[in-house]
């Protein structure tokens, strides 16, 4: 074992006395001295420890100094350790050469002067110590370099982890943002579903009320028809029968007058039947389309109820599909019935307009107006079907209807319907043009 700043010196000599002398002579150097009594022992020491120099006796029993030197050179640890031969006789030249061949650096002839031995060994010790110092410095440098590399690696790893962490944080934030957006969308969808469900429930309720009211209205309509048939047409035919019966009994000169009475009664009955069928469904609607039917209806009602009716419609409006035409006509019919019953209006305007893929319908009056919310509530409880029915009719063909009114400010019924291009056949449009 080598202590830093100190060197080991190996003395190989079979004579303990010689070894002790050398030990004493080198004592001043204050280095560790190891003594080996044979070549084999020397090989063992040199295999386990570093030596600054080996002082090797040439003449030894068994393995002599040269063989020991040769084997020391074969061992890894002592391959380059300086060997100094100690010999009692001046060796022959070839022996000296052999010794140098085997790696010796010097020959010392016994007896020696202790100063000479010390100064020679001191040179090897110094060399060894310097080499050790250089080795130690090299190791320190290597360690420093290793530490620098480790530090840089740690720095790079830290920077990489920081980047990864920042990236993770960015992704998490992005994810959180995305999730918040999805949550908002979900909340919106839920709200929309709830609203739709509410509207659906409301609509179901309205439909129930409406179908009940429709049944009632149907019955009322039947009663009206029966009354009409019984009271008006029935009466006319009764009178006609009486007049015809009288024909047999009156003097012949009164027959022409009696017959004229009968013809007049038949004319009135025909008129009544026509009126009834027109009320049920104006034939004009099927034959000429919505615009002429509305124009005719508005004029007729205006004359009857005393308001001025105006129809605003663009030239060449053309025809619509039969379902949409009857829907519009019934909405206008119900609106005008309400105008007559409640509004006391002086003017009533009906507007029909195409707006891109939509049809817009408006019925305006300048009459009394009313509180729409209150009327709606009343309709649900009292069983009115006018406004509710209009709304349902509009929705059945994919449209929407709204009522705008305020007390003293007139009323406007507005509806919009989706239009299909096929709802305007060119031929029907041309026919309607001819009518107008």
d(CA 431, CA 427): 6
d(CA 43, CA 81): 12
68 binds ligand ATP, rule: CB under 6 A: no
Nearest to 320 by CA among 297, 353, 351, 298: 353
Quickly count: other Cβ atoms within 10 Å of residue 211's Cβ. 12
Q: Does 386 engage in binding with ligand ATP (CB under 6 A)?
A: yes
Provide the minimum distance between the beta carbon of 400 and Mg ion in the complex, in angstroms, as a whole number. Answer: 19
CA atoms within 13 A on the CB side of 213: 18
Site for ligand ATP in 281-340 (CB under 6 A): 338-339
The 10 Å CB-count burial string (b at 16+, else e) for 394-403 is: beebebebeb
The CB-of-334 to Mg ion minimum distance in angstroms stands at: 6
Tell me which of 276, 375, 424, 429 binds ligand ATP, using CB under 6 A: 375
CB of 375 to ligand ATP, least distance (A): 4
Name which of 43 and 340 has its Cβ closer to ligand ATP. Answer: 340
343 binds, among ligand ATP, Mg ion, none (CB under 5 to 8 A by kind): ligand ATP
Report in angstroms how near the CB of residue 294 gets to Mg ion at its nearest: 18
Minimum CB separation from ligand ATP for residue 372, in Å? 8
Nearest residue to 345 via CA among 391, 298, 394: 298
Beta sheet of 411-418, edge-to-edge order: 308-313, 347-355, 358-365, 411-418, 400-405
Q: Which residue from 18, 367, 391, 432 is in contact with ligand ATP, where contact means CB under 6 A?
A: 367
Q: Which residue lies nearest ligand ATP, judged by its C-beta? A: 386
- Per CB under 6 A, 273 contacts ligand ATP: no
Q: Which of the residues 396 through 425 are near ligand ATP (CB under 6 A)?
A: 411
Give the residue with the Cβ less far from ligand ATP, 246 or 347: 347
Q: How far apart are CA 86 and CA 358, in angstroms?
A: 126
384 sits near ligand ATP (criterion: CB under 6 A): yes
How many other β-carbons are positioned within 10 Å of the β-carbon of residue 218? 10
Measured CA to CA, the distance from residue 365 to residue 336 in angstroms comes to 9
CB of 336 to ligand ATP, least distance (A): 9
**Could you count the other beta carbons within 10 Å of the beta carbon of residue 413?**
26
CA angle 232, 237, 239 (to 5 degrees): 95
Q: 367, 386, 389, 410: which one contacts Mg ion (CB under 5 A)? A: 386
Alpha-carbon gap, residue 434 to 436, rounded angstroms: 6
- Which is nearer to ligand ATP, 296 or 342 (by Cβ)? 342
- Segment interacting with Mg ion (CB under 5 A) among 73-81, 246-254, 336-344, 357-365: 336-344
CB atoms under 10 Å from CB of 349, counted, come to 17
Residue 328 interacts with which of ligand ATP, Mg ion, none, CB < 5 to 8 Å by class: none
Residue 423 binds which entry of Mg ion, ligand ATP, none, with Cβ cut-offs from 5 to 8 Å by kind? none
CB of 313 to Mg ion, least distance (A): 24
The residue written with tokens 């918040």 in the block is: 180
Q: How far is the CB of 278 from ligand ATP (least distance, A)?
A: 20
Q: Are 8 and 53 in contact (CB under 8 A)?
A: no
Q: Which of 57, 325, 365, 423 binds ligand ATP (CB under 6 A)?
A: 365
Residues in contact with ligand ATP by the rule CB under 6 A: 338-339, 342-343, 365, 367-370, 375, 379, 384-387, 411
Residues in contact with Mg ion by the rule CB under 5 A: 338, 386
């Amino acid at each position: 074992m080598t202590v830093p700043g100190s060197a080991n010196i190996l003395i190989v000599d079979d004579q303990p006395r010689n070894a002790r002398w050398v030990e004493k002579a080198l004592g001043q150097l204050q280095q560790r001295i190891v003594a080996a009594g044979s070549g084999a022992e020397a090989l063992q020491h040199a295999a386990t420890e570093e030596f600054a120099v080996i002082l090797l006796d040439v003449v030894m029993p068994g393995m002599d100094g040269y063989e020991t030197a040769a084997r020391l050179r074969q061992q890894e640890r002592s391959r380059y350790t300086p060997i100094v031969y100690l010999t009692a006789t001046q060796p022959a030249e070839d022996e000296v050469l052999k010794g140098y061949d085997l790696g010796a650096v010097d020959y010392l002839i016994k007896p020696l002067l202790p100063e000479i031995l010390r100064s020679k060994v001191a040179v090897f010790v110094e060399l060894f110590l310097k080499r050790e110092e250089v080795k130690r410095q090299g190791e320190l440098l290597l360690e420093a370099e290793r530490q620098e590399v480790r530090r840089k690696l740690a720095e790079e790893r830290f920077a990489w982890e920081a980047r990864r962490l920042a990236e993770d944080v960015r992704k998490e934030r992005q994810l959180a943002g995305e999730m918040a957006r999805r949550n908002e969308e979900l909340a919106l969808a839920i709200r929309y579903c709830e609203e739709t469900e509410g509207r659906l429930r409301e609509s179901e309720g309205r439909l129930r009320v409406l179908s009940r009211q429709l049944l009632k209205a149907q019955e009322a309509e039947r009663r009206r028809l029966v009354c009409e048939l019984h009271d008006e047409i029935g009466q006319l035919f009764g009178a006609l029968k009486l007049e015809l019966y009288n024909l047999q009994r009156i003097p012949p000169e009164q027959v022409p007058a009696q017959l004229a009475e009968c013809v007049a009664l038949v004319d009135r009955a025909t008129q009544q039947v026509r009126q009834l069928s027109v009320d049920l469904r104006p034939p004009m609607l099927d034959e000429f389309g919505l615009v002429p039917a509305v124009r005719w209806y508005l004029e007729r009602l205006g004359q009857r109820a005393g308001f001025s009716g105006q129809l605003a419609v663009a030239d060449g409006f053309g025809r619509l599909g039969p379902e949409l035409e009857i829907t519009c006509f019934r909405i206008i019919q119900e609106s005008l019935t309400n105008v007559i019953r409640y509004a006391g209006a002086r003017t009533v305007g009906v507007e029909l307009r195409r707006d891109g893929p939509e049809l817009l319908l408006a019925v305006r009056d300048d009459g009394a107006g009313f509180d729409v919310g209150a009327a709606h509530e009343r309709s649900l409880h009292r069983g009115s079907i006018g406004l509710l029915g209009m709304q349902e009719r509009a929705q059945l063909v994919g449209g929407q209807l709204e009522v705008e009114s305020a007390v003293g400010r007139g009323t406007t019924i507005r509806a919009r319907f989706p239009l299909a291009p096929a709802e305007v056949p060119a031929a029907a449009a041309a026919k309607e043009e001819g009518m107008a």
